[in-house]
Amino acid sequence: MRKLLFAALMSLCAAEFTFGQIDRDLTDRTKNLAEIGKLKNFSSKEIKSSRFGVGFETLDRKVFDPSKVYDKIGTSGLKWARCQTGWARTETQKGVYDFKWLDDVVDNLRERGIQPWFNVGYGNPIYMGKTKNPTAVGYVPLYYGEECLQAWKNYVYNLAKHFKGRVSRYEIWNEPNCGPFWVRPGGADPKEYAKLIKITAAEIRRANPDAKIIACVAGAYSDYLEKLLGEDVCGIIDFVSLHGYCQLPEIRYQSSSSTAYVKNVLALRKSLDGHDGKHVGIIQGESGLPFYTPEGYWLKMWHPSNGDMQAKWMLRRFVTDLSCDIALSSIFMVIDFDFGGAYQTGNGVPHEAHFGFMENGGDYKTRKILDVSKNFSAVFDDSVKPAEYPLSIGLESIWDPLVPITRLPSVGAALASQTFDRNGWPILAYYMPEDLQMRFQTLENAKITGFSGTAKEIKNPVLIDMMTGKVYSAKGASGVPITDYPLLYTDMDAVKDIVDLNK
């Protein structure tokens, strides 16, 4: 028995030595790289445009102080912010609208180069009576009489009129396919949601004919969404917004119960096209991995999360969304909630997970995800487009099947790779899509081949570490590492405008 234990211990030690974690500095053990510089950081105001944003939700419930957040999130380079409008906070007296709180949010974000887009939802106790939470989260105006429904119409009309010229995208309701956000004895119903879309969109466009209307669901493509599209909403909406929370950011886009082995976004695209919705774009409006999850939280984690996992998850979500040509991708959220019970769903249950780019309280300390968003934003502005380039990444010579580095059944088949174009130059983003709870140990000395048919040939290859922002000379396409978050492989000329070289 002792011999067996000793042999097992030696095997683990050998695995650690051979496949050591090198996330902090890719040159620790990969000798084919030489650090030559670092990505520049650009504020949101300095970046002209991009598809990427951050959640700025729940201010309708006053769960954080935005004045402490604006300057810090303005350094992220992110260009969009999803804001909830708050009927109950805006109309506390019947027929009187106080938009000052929301004006402050919109104007401060725009001043820092971040464009707000609105989630329009939730009820109002002054028309509904007592609700399980003080701001009527999840309570739908369809079910509280004609006065309530007319008051909802008046509110959304005045909202769109007031913000015309500053806000153009309106997502109607939040996650209507979830019971806590659609409080009704019969439960969530796509026909009822379609009715709300039609009523609400008409008022928004009456005030602002140029407004873009967004339908929204929790999760991804599903029977609920298919039934919704069958209710003739494609002639009204401009986008469908998906909210995909899961341990692996790729999982909901790879398959679902109804579309096994087919990319979920492609399945949704086909369904939209089949319902006269070829003009309808797809948005990822809300998703993320918490920095911390409490016991009993609905997103089940068997290993504690941390700042590295949260940031890596964001990187993987963003490159996956861009590879699917999604129009906008947003990470939830800018800061942790103030856990005094202000945030509640329709069932009155508080939300206690920590999703923030910043901690709530004190000086609103920033987390690693904010720094990593700066690295991502530096590269992936709107000059970068998804592109199909044939390539392969050779792993055969570096992976020993007997060494327990991953639980993925086939390392080569599982490797995630997406290709993009930046001003004619090819960019490869690649990584091992391992569950981040596994603490994947970095592989070394892989070989990249391919990139045929590119407009510009890679002659001076570089590797970019998206977690640290460090840029390395790759000395060819052999001897590159593989991590559980995206590394970028491209030509120095593709990124020379966004790299500070070492002196």
CATH of the domain at 474: 2.60.40
Residue 3 lies in a domain: no
If asked whether residues 356 and 472 sit together in one domain, one would say no
**Cα–Cα distance measured from residue 244 to residue 224, given in angstroms and rounded to the nearest whole number:** 15
Domain assignment present for residue 46? The answer is no
Alpha carbon 190 to chain centroid, angstroms: 24
Same-domain check for residues 81 and 228: yes
Same domain for 228 and 125, yes or no, is: yes
Residues of the chain falling short of pLDDT 50: 1-23, 254-262, 409
Residue 174 counted as domain residue: yes
DSSP per residue, 100-159? HHHHHHHHHHHHTT-EEEEEE----HHHH---SSTT-TTB-GGGSHHHHHHHHHHHHHHH
* 403 and 254 share one domain: no
Query: Can you tell me the distance from the alpha carbon of 176 to that of 121, in angstroms, rounded to the nearest whole number?
Result: 10
Measured between alpha carbons, how far is 159 from 102 in angstroms, rounded to an integer? 10
Q: Are residues 400 and 278 in the same domain?
A: no
Q: Provide the residue range defining the domain that includes 465.
A: 15-41+385-501
- CATH code: domain of residue 67: 3.20.20.80
Residue 483 forms part of a structural domain = yes
Single residue among 361, 379, 397 that ends a domain in this structure: 379
Is 251 found in the same domain as 102?
Answer: yes
Instruction: Identify the helix (H) or strand (E) that includes residue 478.
Output: strand 478-482
Upstream peptide bond of 10 is cis (omega within 30 degrees of 0): no
Quote the pTM value.
0.90
On whether residue 2 sits in a domain, the answer given is no
Q: How many whole angstroms separate alpha carbon 209 and alpha carbon 72?
A: 34
Q: Are residues 287 and 422 in the same domain?
A: no
Looking at residue 408, its pLDDT comes to: 59
DSSP letter string, 180-192: GGSB-TT---HHH
In angstroms, how far is CA 494 from the centroid of its own chain?
25
> 152 and 241: one domain?
yes
The domain total for the chain is 2
Domain-embedded: residue 476: yes
Q: What is the pLDDT of residue 443?
A: 79
Residues with Cβ within 8 Å of residue 439, at least 6 apart in sequence: 21, 303
Q: Do 62 and 25 reside in the same domain of the chain?
A: no
6 within domain boundaries: no
Q: Do 20 and 59 lie in a common domain? A: no
Asked if 64 and 335 count as a contact pair (C-beta separation under 8 A), the reply is: yes
Which of 323, 348, 379 represents a domain boundary (last residue)? 379
Give the tens place of pLDDT for each residue, 205-251.
999 999 999 999 998 888 999 999 999 999 999 999 999 888 888 87
Same domain, 294 and 434: no
Q: What stretches of 360-450 adopt beta strand conformation (E)?
A: 384-386, 391-394, 416-422, 425-431, 443-450
Tokens standing for residue 124: 């109002």
Q: Are residues 366 and 453 in the same domain?
A: no
Predicted confidence (pLDDT) per residue in 339-348, tens digit: 655 566 655 5
Which pLDDT value is given to residue 11?
A: 34
| Chain centroid, CA 377 distance in Å | 13
DSSP 398: T
Which of 344, 362, 379 is at the close of a domain?
379
Look at residue 251 and tell me if it is in a domain: yes
